Amino acid sequence: MTLRSAPALFGVLPLAAALASCGVNSVPTAEETAKARWADVQNQYQRRADLIPNLVATVRAAGAQEKSILVEVTQARAAANQITVAPGQLTDPAALQRYAAAQTNVGVSLQRLQEAYPQLQSQQGYRDLTVSLEGTENRIAQARRDYNLAVQAYNTTIRTFPNAIGAKVVYGARPMVPFQAVTPGADTAPTVNFGNGN
């Protein structure tokens, strides 16, 4: 090192120290963290928008298939109860045949129900849907909380000394706004409708 470069070096070091202590690096780091957390919030809302209609449609389809089997059993039982054979008709082969056919329909319907029973999934589907909805809402709440914490850290960084100097002079930083529910009813999760009157 020469004697001529020594004063320049002594001038650069305080400038570097001043810049380092006034938030030149911490301000953009805090800002990018807050932006990333906001992207997480949007991602969770998109996940909810994509997931819920698909889950509801799946559960609705399983419920409809199971409903048709149960309706068939109920109708067959009702039809079988309407057909009776009075003691005076025991000699009428057509009456006995109608009675036997009605009872056979009940048996066939019950057999279909027994065969389908291991695959009957609407109750489990409803439980799974409930768990998925709860998990989705929890993910959204956590993403909003993380965003608000990142905004708080950023806003604190740009407003405290010595970072406030770099934030205003170098970046022209302005405080970010934390997430708040502003739409009426935004604090209420969406209603799930299966179209069955419930």
8 confidence band (pLDDT: 50, 70, 90): low
Which pLDDT score is estimated for 35?
93
What average pLDDT does the chain have? Answer: 77
Name the residue among 8, 22, 27 with its Cα closest to residue 173. Answer: 27
Residue 76 or residue 172, greater confidence? 172
Output the pLDDT for position 12: 56
More confident residue, 177 or 80: 177
More confident residue, 140 or 24: 140
Averaged pLDDT, 16-45 = 80
**Residue 173 class from Cβ within 10 Å (0-12 exposed, 13-18 middle, 19+ buried)?**
buried
> How confident is the model at residue 11, as a pLDDT?
59
**Quick check: 19 pLDDT over 80?**
no
What span, in angstroms and rounded, lies between the C-alpha atoms of 155 and 63? 50
Task: Taking residues 46-72, report their average pLDDT.
Answer: 76
CA distance 75 to 145: 53
Residue 24 pLDDT > 70: yes
Q: pLDDT, tens digit, for every residue of 102-155?
A: 777 777 776 666 566 555 556 677 778 778 888 888 998 899 999 999 999 999
Domains of the chain and any CATH numbers: 25-171 (1.20.1440)
